[in-house]
Amino acid sequence: MEIFGIDIQTLGWALLGGILPTFFWLRFWWREDECNREPRSMLVLTFIAGMLSVLIALSAERFIADLLYNQTHIVVAAATIEEFIKLVVVGLLAFSIRFINEPTDYALYLITGALGFAALENTLFLIEPITHQDITVSILTGNLRFLGATVLHIVASATIGAFLGIAFYKNKFAKVIHGIIGVLTAITLHTIFNFFIMKGTTQSIITALAMLWASAILLLVVFEKLKQIHRQQMLLKTNLENYHV
C-alpha cells in the first residue's frame, strides 16, 4: 500500500525517525515551563500546526527558487521563508492574552511549533535512504538532523521568542521592535548555518554545530533570566496589592 507514491511502511519508519527524536526536545522545553503551565492540548495543536507549515514553506521555497538564480539569494530567501512562516503560524494560533501570560510563553510556543516543523522536515529527509534500505545513511541522517537541523529550528524560533519575552512588560511599540530584531537575528543564524553546511567539509559542519549549541546554551541562560524577571514582577504585584489592602 502506498500514500502519495510512498510505501506505507517506509513512511511509517520515516515518521518514527523524524518525530520521535523531537519528543526529547519537547519534554525538555515543556519542563522548563514551571509557572502557569500551558494547556497540553494547545501545545500539541501548535506542534501539529508546525508540521503542516512545512508544506507551506516548501511550496513558497520552490516558487522563489524558480524566480531566483543566485544561490546566495536562494539560501537567504529559504531561511527567511521558514522563519517567517513558523512565526506567523504559531503567532496566529497561540499569541493571545489567553495563552501568553508570562515572558517565556512566546519562546515555548515558538519552540513547540519549530519542533513540529523539524519533525516533518526530518521525516521527508529520511524517506529516500529508508526507501533504498540504507540503514547506515538513515541513522547518520537522523543523528545529524537531531544534532543540527532540529537544534537550528529550536534556536532560531527561541531567539524570536526571547526577544519578545524581553519586551513582555514593555509597550506595544517596544514589542514590535524587539520582534523585528528577533526575526532578523533568527534569519541570520539560519542563513549562516545553511552556508556552513553547504560547504560540506568536516570543519564547516563542526563549526556550524558548535555555533548552534553555543547559541542554545545562551538561550537557556536568557530563558532563566526571563523566568526570574517574571517572578520579580509577580512579587512586586503582590506587594503592591497587599499595600493597597
pLDDT score of 197: 77
pLDDT score of 60: 93
**Residue type at 155?**
V
Per-residue tens of pLDDT for the chain, all 245 residues: 444 455 555 555 555 556 777 777 777 777 766 556 778 889 889 999 999 999 999 999 889 888 887 888 888 999 999 999 999 999 999 888 788 888 989 999 999 999 999 888 887 776 665 555 544 444 444 445 545 678 889 999 999 999 999 999 899 899 999 999 999 999 999 999 888 877 767 787 788 888 888 988 898 898 889 888 878 877 776 666 666 55
**Residue type at 91?**
G
Domain ranges of the chain: 2-244
